[in-house]
């Protein structure tokens, strides 16, 4: 990509899309195109194709999706499957039909089987059953991967798919009903501190292990891969290290400065027991993460304090 390339970022207001936008601006890219969901509903193919046809986009970062944690996935399986299928199918097809030079599809590590060997290698895709608590979302993402690969095979497109691990950072969703574990814990500990609550209750046993990548590291990886990676094979983006939810909770507790206790409700689901990605492929391409979890947590909590009234983004769509 040169600095004048016309680049469309789908999902620019979400956690991932906003980080990619910041990164491109910082690197001097001058022709970035964004649209809010009110301006362009990516679930509507006619409007999506019309937009691509008018704008003559060169490159696409497809970071738009309906996302959420365990509660949201359990309550709205139709929306998580249907809306994500609509969004990615419309954008990918419109990109092909309007001769976009290259598209990056942002997937998720939830595409891997629940009990796949650790760390998760790219070749483990479709080798076992998925985690039931987020299966609709995972199925949609797998369909997006296969769609990109199929366009490449049938039409010679240049569509690549990346699988980020758990992402955190500025512009995350802190709504306790629909958020992921990191922002949910930050909000819970902050509110417990403000209210002098004696304890914070956390779903599950605290034993599952998760890997966390700062959104700015992800954005750096996305730009690097867009410029240096052309294979149809999916590529993981992660740190290569994980910690237990209990360890994460203790870290957030210290960062927030909360002095109460932590109670674990083991009657609630844990989700996948472990989810660590193998980062061999992306390391071989020439990229690795640089933001430590400790530094990233402090930066994220500082952002939360500055933006607290505006953090309840119930849908990170478009």
pLDDT at residue 220 tops 90: yes
Q: pTM for the full model?
A: 0.92
Tell me if 217 is assigned to a ligand binding site: no
Q: Which residue has the higher pLDDT, 271 or 239?
A: 239
Nearest to 193 by CA among 265, 264, 266, 252: 252
Q: How far apart are CA 290 and CA 287, in angstroms?
A: 10
Q: How many CB atoms lie within 10 A of CB 125?
A: 19
| Residues whose CB falls within 8 Å of the CB of residue 2, separated by 6 or more in sequence, listed in order | none
Residue 309 is predicted with a pLDDT of 56
Cis bond leading into 270, ω under 30°? no
pLDDT tens digits, one per residue of 152-209: 999 999 999 999 999 999 999 888 877 788 999 999 999 999 999 999 999 899 999 9
Cα-based distances in Å from 305 to 89, 234, 277: 37, 36, 31
Report whether pLDDT(317) > 50: no
The percent of residues in the chain predicted with pLDDT above 90, rounded, is: 86
- Flag whether 190 is marked binding: no
Closest CA to 314 of 37, 29, 1, 21: 37
Q: Which of 8, 76, 96, 137 is catalytic?
A: 137
pLDDT for 224: 98
pLDDT tens-digit map of 71-105:
778 899 999 999 999 999 999 999 999 999 999 99
Q: Give the model's pLDDT for residue 192.
A: 97
Residues in the chain: 318
7-173+211-241+275-294 domain in CATH 3.20.20.140?
A: no
pLDDT in tens, 105-128: 999 999 999 899 999 999 999 999
pLDDT value at 273 more than 90: no
| Amino acid 173: pLDDT | 87
What mean pLDDT comes out for the span 232-250?
Answer: 97
Give which of 226, 262, 259 is closest to 246, Cα–Cα: 262
Task: Confirm whether residue 165 is marked as ligand binding.
Answer: yes
Q: Single out the residue of 284, 243, 281, 250 nearest to residue 264, CA to CA.
A: 250
Predicted confidence at residue 315, as pLDDT, reads: 39
- Kindly state the average pLDDT of the residues 21-44: 97
How far is it, in rounded angstroms, from Cα 30 to Cα 215?
21
| Separation in Å, CA 313 to CA 76, 136, 172, 193, 307 | 16, 21, 8, 22, 12
Region 50-65: what's the mean pLDDT?
A: 98
Per-residue pLDDT at 282:
98
- What per-residue confidence (pLDDT) applies to 152? 98
Ligand-binding annotation for 150, yes or no, is no
Q: pLDDT category, 277, cuts 50, 70, 90? A: very high
Q: Is 301 an active-site residue? A: no
Q: Please give the pLDDT value at position 183.
A: 93
Least confident of 49-63, 174-188, 304-318: 304-318
Give the pLDDT confidence score for residue 143 in this predicted structure. Answer: 98
- Parallel, antiparallel, or unpaired for β 199-203 and 261-265? parallel
> For 170, which DSSP code?
T
In the prediction, which pLDDT does 51 show?
98
Interval 40-65 mean pLDDT: 98
153 is annotated as contributing to ligand binding: no
Q: Which long-range contacts (CB under 8 A, 24 or more apart) does 263-268 make?
A: 263/199, 263/200, 263/201, 263/202, 264/201, 264/202, 264/203, 264/204, 264/205, 264/206, 265/201, 265/202, 265/203, 265/204, 266/204, 266/205, 268/203, 268/204
Does the annotation list 287 as a binding residue? Answer: no
Mean pLDDT of 279-301: 98
Q: Are 200 and 264 in contact (CB under 8 A)?
A: no
Q: pLDDT at residue 145 above 50? A: yes
Q: Is 305 labelled as part of a ligand binding site?
A: no
């Amino acid at each position: 990509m040169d600095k004048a390339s016309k680049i469309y970022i789908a999902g620019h207001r979400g956690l991932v899309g906003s980080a990619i936008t910041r990164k491109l601006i910082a690197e001097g890219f001058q022709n970035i195109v964004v649209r809010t969901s009110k301006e362009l509903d990516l679930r509507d193919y006619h409007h999506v194709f019309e937009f691509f046809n008018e704008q003559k986009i060169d490159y696409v970062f497809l970071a738009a999706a309906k996302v959420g944690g365990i509660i949201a996935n359990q309550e709205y399986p139709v929306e998580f499957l249907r809306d994500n299928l609509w969004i990615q199918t419309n954008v990918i097809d419109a990109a092909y039909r309007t001769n976009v030079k290259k598209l990056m599809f942002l997937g998720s590590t939830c595409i891997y089987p629940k009990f796949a060997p650790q760390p998760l290698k790219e070749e483990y895709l479709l080798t076992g059953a998925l985690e039931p608590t987020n299966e609709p979302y995972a199925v949609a993402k797998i369909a997006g991967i296969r769609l990109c690969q199929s366009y490449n095979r049938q039409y010679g497109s240049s569509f690549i798919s990346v699988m980020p691990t758990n992402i955190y950072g500025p512009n995350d969703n802190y709504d306790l009903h629909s958020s992921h574990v990191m922002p949910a814990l930050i909000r819970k500990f902050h509110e417990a501190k403000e209210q002098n609550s004696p304890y914070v209750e956390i779903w599950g046993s605290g034993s599952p292990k998760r890997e966390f990548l700062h959104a700015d590291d992800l954005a750096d990886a996305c730009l690097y891969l867009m410029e240096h990676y052309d294979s149809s094979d999916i590529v993981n983006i992660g740190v290569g290290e994980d910690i237990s939810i209990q360890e994460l909770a203790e870290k957030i507790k210290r960062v927030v400065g909360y002095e109460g206790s932590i109670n674990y409700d083991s009657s609630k689901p844990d989700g996948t027991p472990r989810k660590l990605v193998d980062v061999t492929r992306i390391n071989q391409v020439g990229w690795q993460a640089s933001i430590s979890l400790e530094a990233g947590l402090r930066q994220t909590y500082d952002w939360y304090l500055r933006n607290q009234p505006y953090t309840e983004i119930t849908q990170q769509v478009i």
